[in-house]
Amino acid sequence: MTLQVDCPTCGAPVEWKTENTFRPFCSHRCKLIDLGAWASEEHAIPGDPLEDELFSGDLPPREH
């Protein structure tokens, strides 16, 4: 029996097996959509505000 998960991007069922090179995604397209969301900061991992303040002076301000 093969484990089946949902694609994080589109929700399609995905078989979790070695042959599926895109796992946990269903396709290369869904994998790239997710990567783009991280690159555009739509997805983010929350950080420690104190740590962020300590190191924020190490880099110049970002241009938007």
Does residue 10 have a known ligand-binding role? yes
Does residue 7 have a known ligand-binding role? yes
Does residue 30 have a known ligand-binding role? yes
**What is the per-residue DSSP string for the chain?**
--EEEE-TTT--EEEESTT-TTTTSSSHHHHHHHHHHHHTTSS-----HHHHHHHGGGSPPPP-
Does residue 43 have a known ligand-binding role? no
Annotated binding site: 7, 10, 26, 30
Binding-site positions for Zn(2+): 7, 10, 26, 30
